[in-house]
Structure 1
Amino acid sequence: MSSLFSSFCLVIAIFESVVGLLGNGTIVAVSSTSCIRSKILSSYDVIVIFLSLSRFFLQLWMILDFLLIFFCQPSYYEENLFVTFKTVFIFLNSYSFWFAAWLSVFYCVKVASFTQSFLSWLKQRIASLIPWMLITSSLFSFATSLPFFWDSYNAHSNFTTPLTMTNSSKRITTRKTNLIFLILLCNVGIALPSIMLVFSSILLIRSLWRHTRQMQNNATGFRDPSLEALIGAIKTVFSFLLLYITNFIALILILSDTFVPLSTEEAICVVVVAACPAGQSMVLIWSNPRFRELLSSILHYVNSCVRARCS
């Protein structure tokens, strides 16, 4: 690593990814168990399972990536490992971004009240559109990440062969053009679901806030559980949206090669990219009693084991 601070940030990012693994694993376990017991696969469970699975594998991949950077840095950048890891990283990030957007759209369609005909139509048919959401997300993520692998692999092969001065200049110019195209492609692959999520979240917060104001005007002075639930829902959606936007900005800075590799600025972005998916999984857990109960049981069991060994 280039500095002690970068090494410290890498350790923090690994810890955050482990927390994300625990959180997303909890969500997948609870949702899958619920579907098996009820023998009903709801639209919400499908979206949440695929979102949590994509983030589980994303953060598992990030942990492996961080460990290779930490212990095998020279070979990591000299071989094709860097190309493979970054391509899979782009695919998993794009996939998780899409399903986070679908979850926000699902909440918006199911919870918010609309008068527009399209949104009313979408509300009635959201369940039948789930398979198309899966296919679209997979194809779009694959189409976004594959060109990066192909171009980076060719670039690695080209730089290992001797070139004349003229050919070298042309190849460097072509490489820069391809790099700009790849950055734009990756950004579009993340920007489209981000626009969907921001738009649907704003609509949902607006609808919930309007309903909250109506309930406050009709309140009798006692604590209303329904009102508190609405306020909690607004906080949950806003927290999810804030983490998503923060993750989006940090990821764009990393993919655009804005900072020098392993610099302090890039290390901070890596910490943010590792923290936001873990934070979003915690937001989902604390907003859902099913997820919260299992996580509390796991933490209680771990705490009991630690106390038993220490005593």
Structure 2
Amino acid sequence: MDKLGTIRVFVEAAMHQSFVAASRNLDMSAPVVTRAIAQLEASLGVKLFNRTTRNVRLTDAGERFLSDMKHLLEDLEHAEAAASGSYVNPKGTLSITAPVLFGQKYIIPIVTEYLQQNPAVSVKAVFYDRIGNMLEEGLEVAIRIGYLQDASFYATHVGNVRRVVCGSPDYFAKYGIPERPADLVNHKIIMASTVESSTSWKFMSSSGKEIVKVSPHLDCNQNGAAINAAILGCGVTRLMSYQVGEDIKSGKLQKVLVEYETEPLPINIIHLEGRRATAKIRSFIDLCVERLRTNPFIH
């Protein structure tokens, strides 16, 4: 294996802290990865990893070498992209991520339009309701809901969402409409655990923060299931406004306790800082911004 190939193996193993993960991601056998690391350490005359039977960890020298090699590979990727015209014409594979329902409802239509406009690009779309590590997972663009904790991203704000309490009109006709948060203790609660991880629901009023301890009648780990249950009259749920916007507009669901809603959460499109955005990234973000900023359910 040449020096550049060995460096790529090292970076992959270091990022995942696993020779096995590196072999899987690079489509190599574990012994080949192990030999490549051993050859690199021998050529440098330093130990890059501390190995145990369970895992591998970078040494201090390995940490410094990883920082340098990441920059080297990044510069190489930029040079290759520039030479191939990727900074001018959208091409290659674009990897994106978003929350599950947001991706299904709003990102897939944008992706479809984008692919029609850019036939030289293919898209890998990964939707999950968690915050993943973009670098480790090889993701180039992410739609994030909530306040950003990492300043090492380029971020473009496209809208806001709120947590809304809702149920079906039939349910409220039968059980009554809660007039204040404390009334929820007398209602059947559908818990959407990816939106509300705690049974202590926070609300805001003119007198400040108010917390209500709810007892779920139905606990769902999928937001779509909680929405369907609410539409069928199973109870009251609390979800993000974008998740139920279309159902509220159609009359399938009805919002309540609007005056007690908490502060809105921002929606941002992010990509990694330090990487000059290629044409495929820039053009996708531009289209997302244009479409999402006119979406009535995220404002």
Category of TM-score, reference length = shorter chain: under 0.3
Larger Rg: 2
Q: TM-score, normalised by structure 1?
A: 0.22
Structure having the larger proportion of residues in helix: 1
- Structure having greater relative contact order (Cα 8 Å, sep ≥ 6): 1
